[in-house]
């Protein structure tokens, strides 16, 4: 399993814009229905910080790259954040599921 994260902050007055863009992104993902992934977007508390996580099977291609709305959203992340925000790889050290 591969886990990638994107963390970014924006100006407080842009939080609503980011949240609306996330709703539109997830509507587009529902319509496109890419399989084999887990994608999550979250706002951290009441802050203007956001966290995106993408879980892929090992060595799998990222199907989000085939969804135009996902590319458009990621292009806007840099604008909201005030500069490029590359994804980071999470190295899981432990995981428990029941």
The tokens for 93 are: 């050290």
CA 87 – CA 58 distance, rounded (Å): 17
Q: 34-77: per-residue pLDDT in tens?
A: 988 999 999 999 999 999 999 998 877 888 889 999 999 999 99
Q: For domain 2-90, is the CATH number 3.30.70.100?
A: yes
pLDDT at 36: 87
Q: At what angle do helices 15-32 and 68-81 cross, to 10 degrees?
A: 160
Residues 6+ apart with CB under 8 A from 38: 53, 54, 55
Q: What is the pLDDT of residue 40?
A: 96
The whole-number pLDDT of residue 52 equals 97
Average pLDDT, the chain: 93
Non-local CB neighbours of 91 within 8 Å, separated by 6+ positions? none
**Which residues are 79's β-sheet partners?**
none
What DSSP character marks residue 62? -
Break the chain into its structural domains and give their ranges: 2-90
Answer positive or negative: Cα dihedral of 75, 88, 19, 21. positive
pLDDT at 95: 84
Report residue 79's pLDDT band, with 50, 70 and 90 as the boundaries.
very high
């Amino acid at each position: 399993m591969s886990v990638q994260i994107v963390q970014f902050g924006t100006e407080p007055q842009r939080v609503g814009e980011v949240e609306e863009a996330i709703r539109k992104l997830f509507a587009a993902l529902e319509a496109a229905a890419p399989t084999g992934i887990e994608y999550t977007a979250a706002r951290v508390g009441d802050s203007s910080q956001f966290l995106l996580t993408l879980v892929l099977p090992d060595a799998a291609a990222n199907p989000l790259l085939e969804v135009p709305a996902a590319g458009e959203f990621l292009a806007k992340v840099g604008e909201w954040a005030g500069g490029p925000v590359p994804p980071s790889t999470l190295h899981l050290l432990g995981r428990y599921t029941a």
